[in-house]
Chain A
């Protein structure tokens, strides 16, 4: 089973930094914005991930993670950065990685009115989707190492699952979200004050 401490640490550090950087009115919006920045990038990156062949694309897991993170950063800069605002404004109802921006709108406005529970929901959602997306990237690395899809899920999660067709970002993020991210958060998550 993969240890998600490093991405979890990254997520918590980001939340703490944003809490200090932004006002209480800006902060909820920024969490969701960052969440969808990552989600749209994953969505744009998926065709490239799907092309990764099981023929030892990289020599080991570490170098694979480094390469795929670079692919992610390049995709974020080239495809998401300049389009995100437009996408959220005009196509907010679109489901990306099992959720839409519009479904968070009410929660954002409630969190802005100092509702602690709603703010915690947003922070939890940010961490959950961050871990899920990291797992999707690790999944792609394992595929590139020549491991079969279901075996890759088993290696990441420690669970043996029934054969499922994995052809899109939605399916893999739903599976890894449940068996990896949710499991990790269940054991290690503590809400921020």
Chain B
């Protein structure tokens, strides 16, 4: 703890102890404060007893801020630490979610996936939404979560001339420090998903093309996706959104396994991306079980188990990691979980130094590439989205 922080926390405690009414409140109600939660609860209760115009409200806010900052800055678990004094009011997302629920068209769309198995094919199902009526309201909302949902919908619907600029607007929040949504979970999830969407649209060819103009482009984007997904997971890994976050992290590690092998092994030696994949898939299922939706995402459980038993997606005689590794399936999942945290902590240090920052002219270059690559398809009646609200 630095001297300034000690000074700040001492001042905060002194401030509190000098407020007579606060002391009376504590002794009068026989309150004992032994944990930080009890302190915040007590401050909340005390705030309710004073008038909103009272100057004491500002003192209470200052004390609360100081403690929030102290807790966030001194946490050894930086990747999941939240400074509540910097959380952005995200009421706009609540309004947005309500409004888009009214835009459902009840149509379903299916997109064929490249065939992986001989015996059956896979499709992604999309729910139909018409976002045109609400687009003008949210086009300048400056929120990456909203930009992600809108841009994904328009890009899936084939109207790239609307979807790509929205994606770029969102990327301006995700691809730089300071990330103003760092302490707001929905905003940070938006940053993670929109960067994930960028890699999906770019594809391996896109990464190679842009890497000619921006040095280490692929490494920077992939590191950033891992970091943002990990941060969003660690902020609350029991929430239902963590199913998607874990699953996306597993998928991208699998898709770019050789790239991630290099990124991970620059941090610690001997990391096997297959085990990280296996771990994230199973953790995704665990969250689904905890939230009572396990049946919907049963595939992720089997993906993890197949990787453990066969070292891949198909049954074979290799023995998989069951024979190779010195731990059980559970052991490997726990090791993967811990390694992900350690890797993310290391990437966070680089992120804070600005190593994954992109300037506006570099983001414009990405925009130019995407606009050249994707031309609007003949318009469909509705725009589609992979999420159901």
Contacts and interface: CB of A to CB of B under 8 A. Distances in A.
Contact of B58 (A16, A17, A21, A186): A21
Interface in B139-170: 141-143
A188 B359 CA distance: 6
B360 A188 contact: yes
Given A21-B65, A190-B172, A193-B141, A16 B360 contact: no
A interface: dominant SS: helix
A193 B92 contact: yes
Contacts of B176: 188, 190
B142 A3 contact: no
B60 to A, nearest CB: 10
Given A21-B85, A188-B360, 4 more contacts: A9-B177, A17-B86, A21-B62, A190-B142
A55 to B, nearest CB: 32
Interface string A166-193: 0000000000000000000011101111
Given A187-B360, A193-B143, A5 B86 contact: no
A17 B65 contact: yes
Contacts of B87: 20
Contacts of A5: 177, 354, 357
Given A9-B177, A21-B58, A193 B142 contact: yes
Interface in A1-54: 3, 5, 8-9, 12-13, 16-17, 19-21
B189 to A, nearest CB: 15
B379 interface: no
Please list the 3 inter-chain residue pairs (A to B) with the smallest Cβ-Cβ separation, ordered nearest first.
A187-B359, A16-B86, A193-B142
Nearest to A185: B360
B180 A8 contact: no
Contacts of B318: none
Contacts of B65: 17, 20-21
15 contacts: A5-B354, A8-B178, A13-B178, A16-B86, A16-B88, A17-B65, A19-B88, A20-B89, A21-B58, A190-B176, A193-B88, A193-B90, A193-B141, A193-B143, A193-B180
Taking residues whose C-beta sits less than 8 angstroms from the other chain, chain A's interface range is: 10 to 19
B195 to A, nearest CB: 14
Contact of A187 (B62, B183, B361): B361
A21 B86 contact: no
A146 B361 CA distance: 35
A193 B354 CA distance: 22
A187 B362 CA distance: 9
Contacts of A9: 177-178
Interface string B90-106: 10100000000000000
Given A17-B65, A17-B85, A20-B86, A190 B177 contact: no
A191 B61 contact: no
Contacts of B361: 187
B173 interface: yes
B142 A191 contact: yes
Contacts of A3: 354
Contacts of B86: 13, 16-17, 20
Contact of B180 (A16, A20, A21, A187): A16
Nearest to A16: B86
A12 B178 contact: yes
B180 A192 contact: yes
Contacts of A188: 176, 357, 359-360
Nearest to A24: B89
A43 to B, nearest CB: 27
A19 B89 contact: yes
Contacts of A193: 88, 90, 92, 141-143, 180
A192 B90 CA distance: 12
Nearest to B174: A190
B233 to A, nearest CB: 23
Contacts of A21: 58, 61-62, 65, 85
A190 B58 CA distance: 29
A126 B141 CA distance: 21
Q: Which of B87, B89, B173, B178 has the most CB of A within 10 A?
A: B178
Q: Which of A13, A192, A193 has the most CB of B within 10 A?
A: A193
Nearest to B354: A5
Contacts of B62: 21
A187 B172 CA distance: 10
Q: Which of A8, A16, A21 has the most CB of B within 10 A?
A: A16
A7 B141 CA distance: 25
Given A3-B354, A5-B354, A20 B85 contact: yes
